[in-house]
Amino acid sequence: MSEHVVSRKVYFFIFGALMGFTLLTVWIANFNLPGPLNAIVALSIAVTKGTLVVLYFMHVRYSSKLTWVFVCAGLVWLIILFAFTLSDYLTRGWVPITAEPWAH
């Protein structure tokens, strides 16, 4: 298995897509969308741009399965970091504390 040389055409195409998504996210940010929609749209576009960079500029699409495992492991741990922390902070106050065990 020899190294995959990504053609310049692919790089320019990805570059164009990244520029397009940047303009799109700036344009959409001017509207006050209902609820958390602004954040959802902005993050979806950022995730798409990041994925394009990882797959093409960083060659992960053409890399070995082991490289994929490494990249995915990083994302899994990031999700654990966010999910476990938020499961604490966002749920505080959901269950009212009826008795304080230390107060007699």
Contact positions vs other proteins (CB under 8 A): 1-3, 5-6, 8, 11-12, 15, 18-19, 22, 25-26, 29-32, 38-39, 42-43, 45-46, 49-50, 53-54, 56-59, 63-64, 66-67, 70-71, 73-75, 77-78, 81-82, 85-86, 89-90
Asked if residue 14 lies in contact with residue 57, where contact means CB atoms within 8 angstroms, the answer is yes
In sequence order, the 6+-apart residues with CB closer than 8 A to the CB of 17 are 52
Which residue lies nearer to other proteins by CB, 30 or 98?
A: 30
Cβ 28 vs Cβ 14: under 8 Å:
no
